[in-house]
Structure 1
Amino acid sequence: MPTQPAGFWQGAKDSQAIIWTYLPVSFAFGVSATQFGFSAWEALFLSCSMYAGASQFLVVALLGSGTSIWMTALTVIALDIRHLLYGPALYNLIDNKLNLKKTAVWAWGLTDEVFASGMIKLSQRRQEWSESWMLGLSLCSWLSWATGSFLGGMFADQVSQMPQFLQAALDFLLPALFLSFLLAAFERKHSFIVAVTVVVSAIACYLIDLSAAIFIGISSGIFAGLFKHYVLKKPDPEYQGQT
């Protein structure tokens, strides 16, 4: 019996792991925004208009410190340039014809965590993937982020009374969630690329700084993938037959 594609509500259900992490992190963003002089409504507006996840913390810090909006925009674009690769990476694994209206909605919500969930579904349970599932996943994830941002701005004064260790824990939730997705999607065939990226990033972080290590690590991963595909002649199985 063929497997039926998952629907919208299944996507909403599968978004729970993202939602329960997004809520406290976005709440922390709302608190941070008010500390830099933004209102709860302005924090909500940022989460609705740019939806840049962790980069929104940088936006409010830069704007709050007097940095021009153009310099802030360029900085965030440089940090989030990786999102240009998310759509093509998913598209190469999708067999079905895409609906332009649906694609425009769920593609807008391709955060790191939503992208990771989509990649896992397409890599491990491809027959269950559908655009309706992606819509449920991305929309519910975004709603949780927007809601948390607004609530954080509304109750910022009460957060200052929380223990310091709880405030610090909020900052770790988002990278911890993405790391769990990364480990879930990891397969032995990715070992070479992951090893190169980790080693180069660690060296760059030690010799230069964390910001440079992020850019250098991303670049090294891209070049490692190209080297594996074109020089070592070891294309990934899911791409075979498509080129």
Structure 2
Amino acid sequence: MSQHNSALSASFSQFLQGAKDSQVIIFTYLPVSFAFGVSATQFGFSPWEALFLSCTMYAGASQFLVVALLASGSSIWMAALTVIALDIRHVLYGPALYNLIQDRLNLKKTALWSWGMTDEVFASGMIQLSQRRQQWTESWMLGLSLFSWLSWSLGSLLGGLFANQITHLPLFMQAALDFLLPALFLSFLLAAFEKKHTLVVVVTFISAALACYWINLSAAIFLGILSGIAAGLFEYYVLKAKHKNREVA
């Protein structure tokens, strides 16, 4: 019994640590989700509908696109397919984390924290696994993802409730709300960056930039993802294989 209580205590402590580590995400999610609540209200949605979208959809920046599409008369199926296309990258997040996880996973916990796998939560998990592997646990991941999700939902509700007050903010603060989310993810990307990732980052950036200039932003997202995957596969199966063959020779 004492061992069981000790395990529960350790798990709860790790959960609290995950909640604590989510603060950097929370402080950015709150203003961005607040902006979403304001945007949803301006498109005709109620504050509670904005909350419902954030609780069930939880797609970050894609939620802004969804409310705009629905408000413009697009069908719910078109909105759903658009979001799936924009967020298809999330399919890769699970396998990427799984390759670094050494512990045996608990199916119930995994189902819960994987629901909250946003870009920022994924980046935090990757940093923890790559730099502080011994401190990563599912309880930590659960605390991180749960409190990030709660902050996003809360911010959406508050934005919807106080949408009429947003016009009283200075213009520079209104403009800053739109940049907080990409700025947060960029900070995580820079924190996780290592020299061995240079090829993948450079190829992805160039491909996305060219696609954005010559085609459009949606194409830039898709081509950036595909080129990054291709660069990673090339580096792993071709460049590393040649390096190993030279060492053997």
Shorter-chain TM range is over 0.9
1:139 corresponding residue in structure 2: 146
Give secondary structure in 1 for the equivalent of 2:179: helix
Q: Which residue of 2 aligns with 1:127?
A: 134
1:113 positional shift = 0.1
| Aligned partner of 1:33 among 37, 40, 45 | 40
Write the distance in 2 (CA, Å) between the matches of 1:81 and 1:208: 20
| Counterpart for residue 109 of structure 1 | 116
SS in 1 for 2:178: helix
**2:25 corresponds to 1:18:** yes
Q: Distance in 2 between matches of 1:81 and 1:42?
A: 24
Distance 1:143 1:83 in 2: 20
1:90-109 equivalences in 2 (<5 Å): 90-109=97-116
Q: Distance in 1 between matches of 2:208 and 2:138?
A: 35
Q: 2:186 aligns with which of 140, 154, 179?
A: 179
Q: TM-score, normalised on structure 2? A: 0.91
Deviation at 1:234, TM superposition (A): 5.7
Q: Tell me how far apart the structure 2 counterparts of residues 135 and 42 of structure 1 sit (CA, whole Å).
A: 26
Aligned mates of 2:92, 2:170 — CA distance in 1: 39
Mark the runs of 5 or more structure 2 residues left unpaired by the alignment.
1-9, 243-249
Q: Which residue of 2 aligns with 1:205?
A: 212
Partner of 1:240: none
Question: Deviation string for 1:49-72 (max 9, x for gaps)?
Answer: 010011100010000110000000
Counterpart of 2:172 in structure 1 is 165
Distance in 1, Cα, partners of 2:64 & 2:235: 36
What residue number does 2:5 align with? none
Aligned partners of 2:47, 2:210: CA distance in 1, in Å? 40
Distance 1:160 1:234 in 2: 58
Distance of aligned partners of 1:205 and 1:234 in 2 relative to their CA distance in 1, 3 Å threshold: farther
Question: Following the alignment from structure 1 to structure 2, what is the Cα–Cα distance between the partners of residues 204 and 156?
Answer: 35
**What one-letter code is carried by the residue in structure 1 that aligns with 2:133?**
R
1:183-227 CA-to-partner distances (Å, cap 9, x unmatched) read 000000000111111111111122112221111111100000111
- 1:18-74 deviations in whole A, cap 9, x for unaligned? 000000000000000000100000000000101001110001000011000000000
Q: Does 1:218 align with 2:204?
A: no
Return the alpha-carbon distance in structure 1 between the equivalents of residues 64 and 205 of structure 2. Answer: 25
- Measured in 2, the distance between the counterparts of 1:35 and 1:60 equals 10
Match of 1:239 in 2: none
The alpha-carbon deviation at position 158 of structure 1 amounts to 0.7
Which secondary structure does the structure 1 equivalent of 2:103 belong to? coil
Where in structure 1 are there 5+ consecutive unaligned residues?
236-243
1:65-117 CA-to-partner distances (Å, cap 9, x unmatched) read 10000000000000000001111110110000000000000000000000000
Query: How does the TM-score come out when normalised to structure 1?
Result: 0.93
Question: What code does the residue aligned with 2:201 have?
Answer: V
CA RMSD after TM alignment: 1.4
Mapped to 2, the partners of 1:215 and 1:150 lie a distance apart of 31
The aligned length equals 232
Aligned partners of 1:70 and 1:208: how far apart in 2? 25
Q: Check the 8 A contact 2:86/2:218 in 1, yes or no.
A: no
What one-letter code is carried by the residue in structure 2 that aligns with 1:105?
L
* Counterparts of residues 185-196 of structure 1 (less than 5 Å): 185-196=192-203
Paired residue for 1:45? 52
* Distance (whole Å) between structure 2 residues aligned to residue 36 and residue 103 of structure 1: 36
User: Hey, which bits of structure 1, 4+ residues long, moved more than 4 A?
Assistant: none
| Corresponding residue to 1:8 among 7, 10, 15 | 15
Give the whole-Å Cα distance in 2 for the aligned partners of 1:157 and 1:210: 31
